[in-house]
Amino acid sequence: MTVTYSLNVSKARLLGFAKLLFRWRGSIYKLLYREMAIFCGLYYSLSALYRYVLKESQRTVFEKLALYCEAFTNLIPLSFVLGFYVSIVVSRWWDQFTSLPWPDKPCMLISAYVHGRDERGRLIRRTLARYLSLLSVLSFQAVSTAVKKRFPTLDHVEEAGLMTKEERTVYEEISVVHGKWWIPAQWFTALATRARKEGRIKDDVLLSDLLNELHIFRGNCGMLFSFDWISIPLVYTQVVTLAIYTYFMASVMGRQYLNPDKGYPGYEVDLYIPIFTVLQFFFYMGWLKVAEQLINPFGEDDDDFELNWCLDRNLVISFLIVDEMCQRHPRLVKDQYWD
């Protein structure tokens, strides 16, 4: 589930954001400690090589290489390309969240427009609501690894009560080579049309309203599908990744301790721990990790949206709305400001 910290920063107070630095779940440390370990391993290996292994003449070569690498690290405008790239990723991430389909409105409209307190009335309403859940589970399967794990086959969908045996047969009989997740939307359309014919929906304007709501729901499912299908062009991601990785490959060499006696400018201090290089690593790599975490928000990161939770919530709520709470409201009494 997403990592929420809004309440902790509800007031801009002393060191407000600073306190967020001491979190682990979803944090930069959790995401980066492995890369960090590799980086430090490389750094100290090279350092040991220089200090203890190499002969003097070899050291001179090492030093020249280090200076050359250091010079390179200024040639790539990392912050620029990262800034633009992460902007795109963040706005896609939020668009994906706002594309999540919620059944609240369509279900409330079903409960308002599809009349009939008899069993058939209930059956129609519950089936319409279920079709929405079915529609979302079928589309989420393609989008989210977590949903795919939970519902690897149609058997699991049927078992979970989202699809009846009959529906499954019909579904499987339809043979198209292209994706079939939209089929429950067509069933919904057909069932709503039937309800209109039976007079359970009183007016064509309400039917039209209901179908529009269905298509907003279906459109959102399709949008999630599209976000998954149309990734940010691979070449853009590669450009950014290549830039960062070569930067740090140059940096692991270029920020080495060099014998201060040789007086290379910027190499006067022997720090043992290259503290600022490490911080820089956290900074740039962390920025890249923002992109890595958000590029597929339906995965299994700490900060990803849990579609399985959504599916559960939506099924429960939608049955509640169209059935138990259908056209029922508390008895009307005068409120305390009456007159």
Query: Which segment (47-55, 100-108, 149-157) binds a second copy by CB under 8 A?
Result: 100-108
Which of 45, 149, 208, 262 touches a second copy (CB under 8 A)? 208
Sign of CA dihedral 126, 127, 131, 137: positive
Q: For residues 43-76, b (16+ Cβ closer than 10 Å) or e, as one string?
A: beebbeebeeeeeeeebeebbeebbebbebbeee
Name the H helices within 164-203.
165-173, 183-197
**Please, what is the end-to-end C-alpha distance for the chain in angstroms?**
48
Which of 70, 151, 256, 303 touches a second copy (CB under 8 A)? 303
Report how far residue 68's alpha carbon sits from residue 134's, in angstroms, rounded to the nearest whole number. Answer: 60
Whether 271 and 9 have beta carbons less than 8 Å apart is answered as: no
Question: Site mask, a second copy, residues 272-301, x = CB under 8 A?
Answer: ----x--xx-xx--xxxxxxxxxxx-xxxx
Give 3 or 48: the residue with its C-beta nearer to a second copy. Answer: 3
Tokens, residue 56: 């003097």
Give 44 or 246: the residue with its C-beta nearer to a second copy. Answer: 246
Go through the chain and tell me how many residues it has.
339
Query: Which segment (8-16, 41-49, 51-59, 149-157) binds a second copy by CB under 8 A?
Result: 8-16
Give 45 or 327: the residue with its C-beta nearer to a second copy. Answer: 327
Q: Does 245 interact with a second copy (rule: CB under 8 A)?
A: yes
Tokens, residue 125: 């309403």
Report how far residue 113's alpha carbon sits from residue 132's, in angstroms, rounded to the nearest whole number. Answer: 16
Which of 6, 56, 153, 263 touches a second copy (CB under 8 A)? 6
Q: Does 271 interact with a second copy (rule: CB under 8 A)?
A: yes
308-327: which residues touch a second copy (CB under 8 A)? 313, 316-317, 319-321, 324-327
Give the closest residue to 277 by CA, choosing from 121, 38, 43, 5.
43
Exposed, middle or buried by CB within 10 Å (0-12, 13-18, 19+), for 42? middle
Q: Does 333 interact with a second copy (rule: CB under 8 A)?
A: yes
Q: Does 21 interact with a second copy (rule: CB under 8 A)?
A: yes
Which of 41, 45, 48, 77 touches a second copy (CB under 8 A)? 77
In the complex, what is the shortest distance from the CB of residue 289 to a second copy, in angstroms, rounded to a whole number? 6
Which of 45, 58, 83, 262 touches a second copy (CB under 8 A)? 83
125-184: which residues touch a second copy (CB under 8 A)? 126-127, 130, 144-145, 161, 164, 166-167, 169-170, 174, 176, 178, 182-183
Sign of CA dihedral 32, 33, 37, 40: positive
